[in-house]
Amino acid sequence: MQLPPALRAAIDRELEGVPLRDLTMAAERLSRRYRAEIRDGRLHIDDGLAARAYLTTRLPATFAAIAASLAALAEILPGFHPRSVLDIGAGPGTATWAAASTWESVAEAVLVEASPAIREIGTRLAGALPLRCAWQAESLADGLRQCPGSDLVVMAYVLDELEPARRAAVIARLWELAAGAVLIVEPGTTEGWKRILAARDQLLAGGAQILAPCPHDRPCPLSPPDWCHFAARVARSRLHRVAKAGTVPWEDEKFIYLAASRGAPAAPLARILAPPQHGKAGVRVKLCHPSGALAERNVAKRDGVIFKAARKLGWGDRFPDEDRPETH
């Protein structure tokens, strides 16, 4: 996945004149904090250099994950055309950029971000967006009391930064503010999956309709050491490769997400939970079914239309199959 050209150009302007050595060191410090999911009361992005390191090494990956999650939401709710977006823990506005790339209907966004450093840069980046953007410095500790309701509420890569005791109140507030749909995105780790499961249970109890990735509202059929997550392939710029000491022009961002709405989705389809395995006997797919069952199915040439579709489908796609699990 590539960044929108306007965003790529705006990021390049922000990085002009930044010494590569400083950027690389800041990127490594930032990466360590994210990998360790450190919650020490400090903001991960607490100065201008850390903010620029984020633009270089993390924004492309988070954009890809959020954009893929929004695409899944849009596929399931084709009649949903949000005009307003509330971006919680906005960072440099990544989710707002992804929403604007998904729906032409988006006309205004409120971006909530506590870090002055990343908020300052995000404000400049947002100048390239064709919509009205308003930034708020409110922290999640304030209960999001100043936030307006919006058609779409997005909170990406934020739950992992919250103390567990605070998460339920934040999720409840997100649901209060969502006039149409809410999207939560987390790192694709086992802990990220557990946070999403807890949010899913809470939203279901509050009357939400689960849109994706789950094709049902029953208990998750997966159990440790297995877990639900997906991957988005990200194109790396030259600076991105250098800052992360990468040798290939791409990386895979593992993520997990939850999309829910106030309206019921169309008839659900199974979801592919792992990269399909292509072989001489056909295509082997791991599926989460609308019945709530976990299954693996081999799709052979004799399956006709379904086989032709399966050859083109990937990890995270919906699967156009009747609900007939083979194995559990």
Q: Where are the alpha helices (DSSP H) in 77-163?
A: 94-102, 116-126
Is the distance from CB of 107 to CB of 72 less than 8 angstroms?
Answer: no
Strand (E) positions, 143-290? 150-156, 178-187, 209-212, 230-235, 250-261, 270-272, 277-279, 282-288
Tokens of 313: 């489908």
Write the single-letter amino acid at 292.
G
Is the distance from CB of 277 to CB of 298 less than 8 angstroms?
Answer: no
Is the distance from CB of 86 to CB of 150 less than 8 angstroms?
Answer: yes
Is 308 exposed, middle or buried, given 0-12, 13-18 or 19+ CB atoms closer than 10 A? exposed
Residue-wise pLDDT tens digits, 172-223: 999 999 999 999 999 999 999 999 999 999 999 999 999 999 999 999 999 9
Instruction: Between 311 and 150, name the one with better pLDDT.
Output: 150
Give the Cα separation of 137 and 24 in Å (integer): 28
Residue 44 has pLDDT above 50, yes or no: no
Instruction: Between 45 and 3, name the one with better pLDDT.
Output: 3
Residue-wise pLDDT tens digits, 78-121: 999 999 999 999 999 999 999 999 999 999 999 999 888 889 99
Domain ranges of the chain: 5-261, 270-319
Give the Cα separation of 63 and 76 in Å (integer): 20
- Unique residue bearing structure tokens 């934040």: 170
Left, alpha or beta for 18 (phi > 0: left; psi -120 to 50: alpha)?
beta
Tokens of 291: 């019945």
CA 162 to chain centre: 17
**Residue among 294, 274, 293 at smallest CA distance from 284:** 274
Domain 5-261 carries which CATH code?
Answer: 3.40.50.150
pLDDT of residue 248: 64
The residue-averaged pLDDT of 20-30 equals 70
Give the Cα separation of 79 and 97 in Å (integer): 20
3 state DSSP class of 221: coil
Residue-wise pLDDT tens digits, 160-181: 888 899 999 999 999 999 999 9
